[in-house]
Amino acid sequence: MRSLLPKVLHPIGGQPMLRHVIDSASELAPHAIHVVYGHGGEMVRSNLAELPLVNWVEQAQQLGTGHAVSQALPSIPDEHTVLILYGDVPLITPTTLRGLVAAAQSGVGLLTTELADPGGYGRIVRGADGAVSAIVEEKDATTQQRAIREVNTGMLAATARLLRRWLEGLNNDNAQGEFYLTDVIAAAVGEGVSVQTVAPQAVAEVMGVNNRLQLAQLEREYQMRQAREIMLSGVSLLDPSRFDLRGELRAGQDVTIDVNVVLEGEVELGDGVRIGPNCYLRDVRIGSGSRINPNSVLEQAEVGAGCVIGPFARIRPETRLADQVHIGNFVEVKKSDVAAGSKINHLSYVGDSTVGSGVNIGAGVITCNYDGANKHRTVIGDGAFIGSDTQLVAPVEVGAGATIGAGSTITHDTPAGELTLSRVRQKTVQGWTRPVKNKRT
């Protein structure tokens, strides 16, 4: 990966690859999940420390996959079925894993797949009767064995009792000088234990990540998988190949999402919501019938029904917009409550504010909420009209129905229903002549 970040912490869909594997395993309601970690593993452990059921097992020396599994076995009862997964194979599904565990009930369940180009994978060797006889790693394979297209994914299931016995008998007499987990298959065959193979529903489920190109390929596969589910649930994605969901989406009926939209965290979209192109939403709730116009950013905010946001608007954390609020182009709202029917349509900043209903805030208005040390609040009453290019220096309160003349700097509370303004008196200088450039000689 050419990175300081351990490979299994590189994200797919906004979550570490290892988290995806653990989540899929958790769907099977396991007794425990054991994560074997080696170099750089403390960072992995600290990043995922909050996960329940996870037992962290250190592999001090990296002596191969068989050795890794043996580190976890001491804490697993003999009669338990052990399902072996990999932290850099993030798209495995619970459905496939259930099939693998079911296959282990009669001996060993082995996950295999066929690849057009099997290079780099261990090959599945079958006998004349079609039964699995061994797995041969590519570096140890003959020319004939390398032509086999059925490959080992590394994922298998068997009882702890069987695995314990077979792992104790492993040796590292191979090209890598490692203890191969795959050698337990030959041991099972030698004892006459049934090896049942299971195939994934899609090849992407068993694809691993060893570089950033493969990471990007699986990211797109993951996003297309989510896009299919979302569209089948009734959401319209205008181009599913240009959509990213890095969290959880709950959507009502007739929701439309345009291209290049990124959703993170928990996002809830009410009936009839329309999201324009190039928008970013993180941890937001948007009410029915609202429209988010292109190139808008919304984070940790609540938007009521029938609102219009953007284009090029930014709604920052702790903002709550009531129904029928309009937030226009190049407007930024932060940590503010805006009541029903209010409009902030052009080039304004409203921060740390309480805005009443039916308020009109003109172009270029800013709430001066920060004095260099502390934040202060601005309160604007119902029906107030704030003229363009006004500065409201907090803490300050504008009374209900008040009008603030354009270009004013308001530093004191203003009365309800009255016009307040602060301007230098306009004057005209009679006979003034505009300077002109001197003519060159």
**For 163-221, what is each residue's pLDDT tens digit?**
999 999 998 888 788 898 988 999 999 999 999 999 999 999 999 999 999 999 999 99
Residue 221, in any domain of the structure: yes
Same domain, 191 and 82: yes
Tokens matching residue 258: 């345009």
Same domain, 41 and 179: yes
Is 346 an active-site residue?
Answer: yes
pTM value > 0.85: yes
Residue 438, in any domain of the structure: no
Residue 429, in any domain of the structure: no
Residue 115, in any domain of the structure: yes
Average pLDDT over all residues of the chain: 95
What total number of domains does the chain contain? 2
Contacts with 427 (C-beta within 8 Å, 6 or more apart), sequence order: none
Same domain, 69 and 130: yes
In the prediction, which pLDDT does 441 show?
65
Same domain, 244 and 199: no
Same domain, 44 and 86: yes
Same domain, 300 and 401: yes
Residue 439, in any domain of the structure: no
Same domain, 66 and 167: yes
* Residue 391 lies in domain: 212-420
CATH code of the domain covering residue 77: 3.90.550.10
Residue 437, in any domain of the structure: no
Residue 440, in any domain of the structure: no
In the prediction, which pLDDT does 40 show?
72
Residue 406, in any domain of the structure: yes
Q: List the catalytic residue out of 67, 346, 376, 412.
A: 346
Same domain, 350 and 232: yes
Same domain, 251 and 359: yes
Q: Please tell me the least confidently modeled range out of 130-144, 298-312, 381-395.
A: 130-144
**For 233-290, what is each residue's pLDDT tens digit?**
999 999 999 999 999 999 999 999 999 999 999 999 999 999 999 999 999 999 999 9
